Amino acid sequence: MQNKTGANGIRRLFDSHLFWAAISLCAALFMWVYYTSNYGATRTQTFYGVEVTFLGQDAMRDARSLVVSEQDATTVNVTLTGTRRDIAQLTSADLKAVVNLANVNMAGYRTMSYTLTYPTTVNQANIREGTKSPATIGMQISKLSTVSMPVTGIFDGSTMDGYMVDSSEMVFDPANVTFTGPEEELEQIAKVQVTVGRDDVSSSFSAVGSYVLLDAEDNELEFEDVQSDAENISVTVPVSTIKEVALDVTLIDGGGAAAETDVVKHIEPQTITVAGDAATLDGLNSVSLANINLADYLTFPETEYNIVLPNGVECLTGETTAMVSLEFVGLSSDLFIVTNLSAVNVPEGYDASIIDVNKVVTVRAPSSVLPRITANNIRIVADLTDAVPGRSRVPTTVYVDGFSSAGAVGTYPVYVQLEEEEQ
């Protein structure tokens, strides 16, 4: 009986106009509170660190060869006012400060305004923009340029004893790197440098490494807007052998002087230290400065000669010339008036007559031999192999008969008359 009474009471409650009026009032109050808190009430907030981006940057680069090389600010701070709901949905990362580059046609510094962009989830019409800091973006517009730079290298390592590395002899692939970027940035590049390091090397080797850009004072440069056609460089590092070699002159026996027994050589410096490929230096024990015919000199003055090294060999001690003098030991010389003049190799069909009556000849010989030599032992023979008809000056050979250790010093050409034989 009580359950039936309770059910009737509930039925009468749901049928009551007062009950539903109360429910409607509560629902309306809830909707009003929700709407006013999310749509009706406004909220102001400052967003910090909003990223600055550029619109039309690729088109400006491709069509007009212009790029943004510097900008005064990469982020901005903006104050926005909007409904609580819209403002609550925003973060600094959702916003972008967009600079439109469509009308930029020349290089130079300029200040441009920017436009804020919002995510699609936010109704931009409900947002009011307030203060912006900075209000504009200053930027440097630069002409796009291209430059090709040679690669240089440094060996930053160690070698075993008797070996060395000359950084200037490194070989690079590619040998040049082409850079594209703002003209004023490319003008700062003085070197493209690769550093190769390895310890205790004793033979040539290859390595792959990255490079750095240096200015004229060897300060490292870093550019965000510069592009290159190569990121890594293949480097061949030649390792050279170090060796001490003697300096020498090649002496040709003559004029009564034998190189091995009658001449003392004085050379300064006597040795130099060189570096080069091991195969080249293995067979290099001395460097000949000159060929000296002893028959040309009664005394040999101190003479300076250039030091000429094989290709690929470098003098580490820095000498480029050497001084050479020769000392003749145990020899004497004397003058002789020679009248025994004759000719050989006379052309067929010609008669030859020597115009010179005599020649004064200097003869050198060991001091014990020279007193026994007379003018009768000396003869001068003219070689007419290359003589021409008429009068000409021809070379001769001087013979000191009977004295193999004696010889003439100097040359003694004679005048010869060559005429056709009478028929």
Q: What pLDDT was estimated at residue 1?
A: 47
**144 CB burial (10 A radius; 0-12, 13-18, 19+):** buried
CB 63 within 8 A of CB 144: no
| Strand order across the beta sheet in which 321-328 lies | 263-268, 321-328, 300-306
Judged by DSSP in three states, 255 sits in: coil
What are the pLDDT digits (tens) for 9-24? 556 655 666 655 666 6
Specify the fold of 148-237. Answer: RNA Polymerase Alpha Subunit; Chain A, domain 2 (2.170.120)
Q: What pLDDT was estimated at residue 21?
A: 65
Look at residues 305, 298, 342 and name the one whose alpha carbon lies nearest to residue 323: 305
CB 332 within 8 A of CB 354: no
What are the pLDDT digits (tens) for 250-299? 999 999 999 999 999 999 999 999 998 888 888 888 999 999 999 999 99
Query: pLDDT of the chain along its 423 residues, tens only?
Result: 445 555 565 566 556 666 556 666 666 565 544 555 545 578 999 999 999 999 999 899 888 889 898 899 999 999 999 988 889 889 999 999 999 999 999 989 999 999 999 998 888 888 999 999 999 999 999 888 899 999 999 999 998 888 888 888 899 999 999 999 888 889 999 999 999 989 998 888 999 999 999 999 999 999 888 889 999 999 999 888 999 999 999 999 999 999 999 999 999 999 999 998 888 888 888 999 999 999 999 999 999 999 999 988 889 999 999 999 999 999 999 999 999 999 999 998 899 999 999 999 999 999 999 999 999 999 999 999 988 899 999 999 999 999 999 999 999 999 999 998 876
Alpha-carbon distances of 294 from 224, 238, 249, 263, 407, rounded to whole Å: 72, 42, 12, 9, 10
CB atoms within 10 A of CB 373: 19
Phi, psi at residue 188, to the nearest 5°? -80, -20
pTM of model > 0.85: no
Nearest-5° angle of CA 110, CA 111, CA 115? 135
Say whether 332-420 and 148-237 share the same fold: yes
Instruction: Select the CATH number that applies to the domain covering 241-329 from these four: 3.90.199.10, 2.60.40.10, 2.30.33.40, 2.170.120.40.
Output: 2.170.120.40
Alpha-carbon distances of 18 from 32, 83, 353, 421, rounded to whole Å: 21, 36, 164, 166
| Strand order across the beta sheet in which 390-394 lies | 350-354, 414-420, 390-394
Q: What pLDDT was estimated at residue 334?
A: 96
Instruction: Select the CATH number that applies to the domain covering 332-420 from these four: 3.40.190.10, 3.30.420.40, 2.170.120.30, 3.40.50.720.
Output: 2.170.120.30
Domain ranges across the chain:
2-40, 42-134, 148-237, 241-329, 332-420
In the CATH scheme, what is the code of domain 42-134?
2.170.120.30
- The distance in angstroms from the start CA to the end CA of the chain is 183
Q: What pLDDT was estimated at residue 3?
A: 53
